[in-house]
């Protein structure tokens, strides 16, 4: 319902292909006056890398679009069709496509939930020289109830569809891929959010990943959000008075820094 309202209330470009894959598509919600330059929030959905899609991701758009921020929901090939290396590559390529295609983008802000937070964290570790373009991310990310170390899920049901080896899990674990922060990364903080009722493993990984980023020179805030669980923490993004939306309301001035 949130996505339907967003599509009805904004100028949209739906199913924009950034590659040839079935799910290599973007839904773009433009601000009401997209003339000139505008910041963009790129939202990467969760679903344990094997369910959900960009089509359920429009709920985050209305409060940001109304402030002059474009919102992009990223599609990627989920398992079992997609494997972990491919998903990480797809999300990175989607960012490169965005900044090449839309010259009006003046800053990129990342947001991901659960598996999407994992993929957003992998974007932060990208060596953009391989892509011929450098998205203006500068460490601006809201990572919500993410997974930052894939090894603990190797022997769980989650890996039944993913079929990851230990090597695949290691090279795609943000905890093991933290890169030193560029000087510009201090301009805005990486917000690592975790729900009060997230599992102990989610809470541990969020805390340890935040600490690892901070040790590498990133500017990090850890948000421990009371009264929510792993799923409704992201649903609250659509509620204008909620703390994550308040973070979003600071986005335009932050991106102009």
Beta strands in 18-161 (DSSP E): 25-30, 38-44, 70-74, 105-113, 141-144
Residues whose CB falls within 8 Å of the CB of residue 256, separated by 6 or more in sequence, listed in order: 39, 106, 107
The Cα–Cα gap between 159 and 52 comes to: 17
* Catalytic residue (choose from 114, 145, 173, 238): 114
* Catalytic residue (choose from 55, 136, 219, 230): 230
Cis peptide leading into residue 80 (ω within 30°): yes
Q: 198 catalytic, yes or no?
A: yes
The Cα–Cα gap between 191 and 160 comes to: 31
Q: 230 catalytic, yes or no?
A: yes
* Catalytic residue (choose from 57, 94, 118, 198): 198
Environment class of residue 19 by beta-carbon count within 10 Å: exposed (0-12), middle (13-18) or buried (19+)?
A: middle
Active site residues: 114, 198, 230
């Amino acid at each position: 319902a949130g996505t339907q309202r967003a599509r009805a209330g904004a100028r949209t470009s739906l199913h924009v292909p950034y590659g040839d894959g079935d799910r290599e598509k973007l839904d773009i919600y433009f601000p009401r006056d997209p003339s000139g330059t505008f910041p963009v929030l790129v939202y990467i959905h969760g679903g344990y890398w094997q369910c959900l899609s960009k089509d359920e991701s429009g709920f985050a758009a209305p409060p940001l679009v109304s402030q002059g921020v474009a919102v992009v929901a990223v599609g990627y090939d989920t398992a079992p069709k997609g494997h972990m290396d491919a998903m990480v590559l797809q999300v990175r390529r989607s960012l490169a496509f965005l900044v090449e295609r839309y010259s009006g983008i003046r800053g990129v802000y990342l947001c991901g939930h659960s598996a999407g937070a994992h993929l957003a964290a992998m974007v932060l570790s990208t060596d953009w020289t391989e892509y011929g373009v450098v998205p203006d991310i500068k460490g601006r990310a809201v990572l919500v109830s993410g997974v930052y170390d894939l090894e603990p899920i190797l022997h769980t049901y989650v890996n039944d569809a993913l079929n990851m080896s230990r090597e695949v899990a290691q090279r795609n674990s943000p905890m093991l891929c933290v890169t030193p922060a560029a000087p510009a990364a201090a301009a805005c903080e990486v917000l690592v959010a975790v729900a009060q009722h997230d599992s102990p493993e989610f809470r541990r990984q969020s805390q340890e990943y935040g600490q690892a980023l901070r040790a590498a020179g990133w500017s990090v805030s850890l948000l421990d959000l009371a009264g929510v669980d792993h799923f409704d923490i992201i649903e609250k993004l659509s509620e204008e008075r909620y703390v994550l939306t308040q973070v979003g309301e600071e986005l335009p001035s932050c991106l102009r820094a």
